[in-house]
Structures are given as structure tokens and as C-alpha cells.
Amino acid sequence: MESQTRGYIMVIVGASLWGLSGTAAQDLFHSYGFQPVWLVEIRMLFSGILLLIIYRLLLPDNPAPRNMGWKDVLSMVIFGIAGLLAVQLAYFMTIDYSNAGTATLLQYVAPFFIMVWLVLTGSKRVYAFELVSVLVAMSGLFLLLTDGSLTGIKVSYLALYWGIGSALAAAFYTIYPYRLIGRFNTFLVTGLGMVFGSLVLMPIYYPWSLSGFSIDAVSVSLVIFVILLGTALPFMLYIGSLRHISPSSASILSVFEPLSAVAATVLLLGTRLGGFQIAGGVLIVVSTVIISAKGGISR
């Protein structure tokens, strides 16, 4: 298999698994009574530990952790809490108040918050195609939220609140760790960030607190899927794909995340989306592809 083809497959599989993890979370919340805070805590803790183990296996003699100063540790704590924890908690809360498809599409407007930030800080100039893509995305967001009606939004206001919050957090965790990743391995930075983020939630919801949850073989399997196949494996596939294809190509193919989330939500869980909502989701995805294809902001 050619290197480029291998990279494409890795991104498509990883992005699809990310999307399916949202569908699995929706079933856990709506059918089994699981709490988003608990699932985020467990997901981050075990995925973080797994990524750190993989880092140690891949780079057993890397001296990077011994060279960390207190500023590096503080930056990783900020990244873990304000970035990884915030985006995952807001994303799962959006799912809890709506569905995985809507939550994933709302989070997918993150590249436009990144673009706004870079423009405001003078890091880049705005091009015509970017303005067009923003208009397309905003049109898509309107259709997604209203299903084409001018009388009000069809999505819960709490879902909208958490969904926009997840997009803002996704923009933050995309921009913030550049210095850290430049100095340390990505697996190390993300693994520590996940562990730090999970520790914040433990005083709020103990990992062993399962009161109100419906525990059976299916729900346990869904939790394991979210941790392993919906978090750790997709991350490794996405990072690994960058050895074979460009970041812009990987970003374009990440559209399989919302596509898989919407398809699984509709086909497996029976969630109904209006025609205008589906069209809005398509516009959001297309607008992000336009930016990525032009070498702009990647997610």
C-alpha cells in the first residue's frame, strides 16, 4: 500500500471513530442514564494513561519529561483544563441536550473562531475565499439550528450554549499547545493534559460513583468503545497519518467525523434531522473544507 493511501485510510478511520464515539455517548446518556461529567472523566483518565504508556514504549530513552520546568507543567495543566477538558465536557453536554450529530456539527465551526483570533492578533490577513467560507458556515449554522424556520431555533438553547462553548474550547486547544508540542512529544503533551483535566472532575464526580446508571454488557461495551476506539485509537491514527500526508489533507478528510456522527445517529439511534438541518450541516462541512483546501486553518 502506498504511503499516501495509508495516510488517507488512517485519517478516515480515525475521524469516523471520533464521530461514532459521540453516537455511543448519546446512547449512554439517553438510554442508560450515564452522566456526561462521569464519562468525560473516565474517558480522559484512561485515554491519557494509555497515551502516556504508548509514549514511554515508543520513546523509552527520551529525556524530555526530565527537562520540564514548572512553566511547562503549568502550561500542560492549562491545556488539559481549558482545552481538552473544556472541549470534551462541552461536547458531551451538547449531546446530552440534543444529539451527537448536532453536537459534532456545532463543534465543527471551531476553525472560524481560530481564524478570527489570528486576524485580531495580526497573525494573518483575511482572504476573499475565507470570507465566503464564513458566510457559508453561518448560513449552515442558521439552517442547522432553525431547520429553515424564521420563528425560532429547533435546537435546545442549552445545546446551543454548550455547542458554541465546545467550538470555542476546540479553537483554544488547537492554538494554545503549539509551543508545548514544539518542545515535547504530542503523545506526552496530550496524555498529561488528559490526566490533569480528569483530576479536576474527580472531586465533583468520583469514578466509582455509578448511582443511577444502568449497567449491563452493552453499556460497559459502549464505555470501553468511547475510551479506546473513540478516543485513544483515533488520536494515534490521526497523528500517525501526518507522517504520510499533509496536515491540510488530514484536515479535509476529518469531515468524516461529522458525517459518521450524523449517519450513525440517524441510522442506529433513530434520531430525526430535518432536511434543512442536514443541508446546514453540509454547508458547515463544505465551508471548513474550503479553508483547509486553500491551506488555511486546519482543525
One-character DSSP codes across the chain: --HHHHHHHHHHHHHHHHHHHHHHHHHHHHHH---HHHHHHHHHHHHHHHHHHHHHHH-TT--GGGG--HHHHHHHHHIIIIIIIHHHHHHHHHHHHS-HHHHHHHHTTHHHHHHHHHHHTTS----HHHHHHHHHHHHHHHHHHHTT-SS--SS-HHHHHHHHHHHHHHHHHHHTTHHHHHHS-HHHHHHHHHHHHHHHHTTTS-TT--TT---SHHHHHHHHIIIIIIIIHHHHHHHHHTTTS-HHHHHHHTTHHHHHHHHHHHHHH-----HHHHHHHHHHHHHHHHHHHTT----
Q: Could you give the C-alpha distances from 60 to 57, 63, 73, 105, 196, in angstroms and in order?
A: 6, 9, 20, 39, 22
Q: Which amino acid belongs to residue 292?
A: S
Does a structural domain hold residue 42?
Answer: yes
The parent domain of residue 221 ranges over 3-293
C-alpha cell at 203: 472531586
Q: Which amino acid belongs to residue 24?
A: A
Does a structural domain hold residue 267?
Answer: yes
Q: What is the pLDDT of residue 27?
A: 96
Does a structural domain hold residue 99?
Answer: yes
Q: What is the pLDDT of residue 7?
A: 86
Q: Closest by alpha carbon to 214, among 38, 28, 32?
A: 32
Does a structural domain hold residue 299?
Answer: no
Q: How many structural domains does the chain have?
A: 1
Does a structural domain hold residue 298?
Answer: no
Does a structural domain hold residue 192?
Answer: yes
Distance CA 12, CA 26 (A): 22
List per-residue pLDDT tens for the chain, 299 residues long.
Answer: 678 888 889 989 999 999 999 999 999 999 999 999 999 999 999 999 999 999 888 887 776 677 788 889 999 999 999 999 999 999 999 999 999 989 998 988 887 888 788 788 877 676 777 778 878 888 888 888 888 776 667 788 999 999 999 999 988 988 888 788 878 888 899 999 999 999 999 888 777 777 788 999 999 999 999 999 999 899 888 888 878 887 667 777 788 888 899 899 988 888 888 888 889 888 888 887 777 666 554 43
Q: What is the pLDDT of residue 150?
A: 63
Q: What is the pLDDT of residue 298?
A: 42
Does a structural domain hold residue 248?
Answer: yes
Q: What is the pLDDT of residue 219?
A: 95
Q: Which amino acid belongs to residue 138?
A: M
Q: Evaluate whether 242 touches 253 at the Cβ level (below 8 Å).
A: no
Distance CA 261, CA 97 (A): 16
Q: What is the pLDDT of residue 206?
A: 75
pTM for the model: 0.88
Q: Closest by alpha carbon to 196, among 20, 22, 49?
A: 49
Q: What is the pLDDT of residue 128?
A: 75
